[in-house]
Structure 1
């Protein structure tokens, strides 16, 4: 039995490090209501822009809110975005990729639509949607869902076109299996590994994109905590109160690096398995 790529990936130094980083940060976000020393929007007027202390490990921001508490809830927002947006984006991408394999004309049309999307910068799309729908959590979700469709669609299309020429598919046709049965039972399971790698890399992209959109004012809006929003709010105080910016930058960077390390390790393990 062929071992899944995750087994080899977790044994590599990069994969182990990425997994550890992701697990720690995701657990911190999930457990934010229990780990957070203060509510994320709680303001202490007498503790504005205080440095790290026993009462505020990462200091406070310009409104006297505890930076650690907002960091934990900011991670929680990213976890929610990954759980909601990335699977939906992958599901739509898989359907689009499968549709492209049904007929030559359909394939050409799908490829041209995907080319248009890939030629359109994601941040500009986010700005346009924010102008039309208004900035916020839903806008971030829509942008992430749309941005992840082309890569998944093309990955699925390539996997299907490659796998359906193999001998086991020919054998399934000979014994009378339907096209749908061959696709679901044989082809897609053999494309799962590549889709898992794509999922992890897309999660890293989603975290980065949420941070970028919120930093530019198109994403999650205050007082709701977000890592990008915390960076944007702390930039005016960078010189004298650097912790308000460096803490969310470190967490955002760590989460993206952890996911990328895990994705790279999975990809390397997948290549070794073929």
Structure 2
């Protein structure tokens, strides 16, 4: 049994290594890493504070302000770089939380038929709400801000990961390694957590990459319509919303956040595509 587990582990490691060598995965990872590093290094790349107002409002791009300034004289490049940090912080915490909750509920579906029916109907209800509708609901309860965006991103991921875990578990439960573990007297929960979950990890990793892309889009959409992160806190969506009103005075106002949002979404989607080809299509 241990030899089988070792062989399967080596196969999974080889598949992950092969997936990261796919051109789309490498380009996506490189793009995401570049933007992450720009966000992390924001205080080193610009001498301005993202909240400090200046006397020169709506300046066009120049040497001192590569993207110009906003209506309060704040440097737009600085605010864009700090917006990357905030978006990635929300996505990097809300997606794993939603994934963990979804995986836990997906495992519960396999423990009892009644629990499976109840949770499947709950997933149906959750999936019926689009991200924006859920965001509006949470913003009405919690108020616009980071908390509303965070719980919206986490909430939309619970049924996604729950369904993936539940469906993959139903497929895996009749595999030889599961039957062998049952023959050795392993309990159902032990088999689910110790044997099945590691073997459905590939599908969860691909969904995580897609969910990170969606999280960036959700923050942008919620902040753009005024129910997400609110000024003066710099976020990509809030910058897009403000920039839409001043494009005639400073066309570069929205250039930075648009470029970053598109870059992050494309990067995460390319990464997910490469992982999907390397991990799932074997």
Tell me what 1:263 maps to: 272
| 1:203 to 1:31, Cα distance in 2 relative to 1, 3 A | same
- In structure 1, distance between residues paired with 2:18 and 2:70: 43
Tell me what 2:76 maps to: 67
User: What is the CA distance between 1:32 and its match in structure 2?
Assistant: 2.1
Tell me what 1:96 maps to: 105
> Does the CA-based 8 Å contact 1:212-1:228 persist in structure 2?
yes
User: Secondary structure at the residue paired with 2:214?
Assistant: helix
TM-score by length of 2: 0.93
User: What is the CA distance between 1:264 and its match in structure 2?
Assistant: 0.8
| 1:164 to 1:254, Cα distance in 2 relative to 1, 3 A | same
- In structure 1, distance between residues paired with 2:257 and 2:162: 33
| Match 2:38 to one of 28, 50, 53 | 28
User: What is the CA distance between 1:184 and its match in structure 2?
Assistant: 2.0
| 1:99 to 1:7, Cα distance in 2 relative to 1, 3 A | same
User: What is the CA distance between 1:108 and its match in structure 2?
Assistant: 1.2
Tell me what 2:166 maps to: 157
After TM superposition, the structure 1 = structure 2 runs for residues 5-24 of structure 1, keeping only pairs within 5 Å, are 5-24=15-34
| Match 1:139 to one of 124, 148, 157 | 148
After TM superposition, the structure 1 = structure 2 runs for residues 150-189 of structure 1, keeping only pairs within 5 Å, are 150-189=159-198
- In structure 1, distance between residues paired with 2:114 and 2:194: 26
CA RMSD of the aligned region, Å? 1.2
TM-score by length of 1: 0.96
| 1:172 to 1:270, Cα distance in 2 relative to 1, 3 A | same
Tell me what 2:52 maps to: 42
User: Deviations for 1:170-210, whole angstroms, at most 9, x for unmatched residues?
Assistant: 01111111222212221111011111111111111111101
1:242 aligns with 2:251: yes
Tell me what 1:53 maps to: 62
| 1:166 to 1:250, Cα distance in 2 relative to 1, 3 A | same
User: Secondary structure at the residue paired with 1:51?
Assistant: coil
The runs of at least 4 consecutive aligned structure 1 residues that moved more than 4 Å come to none
- In structure 1, distance between residues paired with 2:222 and 2:276: 28
The worse-fitting range, judged by mean Cα deviation, of 4-13 and 80-89 is 4-13
- In structure 2, distance between residues paired with 1:112 and 1:64: 51
Tell me what 2:6 maps to: none
- In structure 2, distance between residues paired with 1:51 and 1:7: 46
1:81 aligns with 2:90: yes
Number of residue equivalences: 272
User: What is the CA distance between 1:37 and its match in structure 2?
Assistant: 2.5
1:197 aligns with 2:206: yes
User: What is the CA distance between 1:4 and its match in structure 2?
Assistant: 4.8
Listed as ranges, the gaps of 5+ residues in structure 1 are none
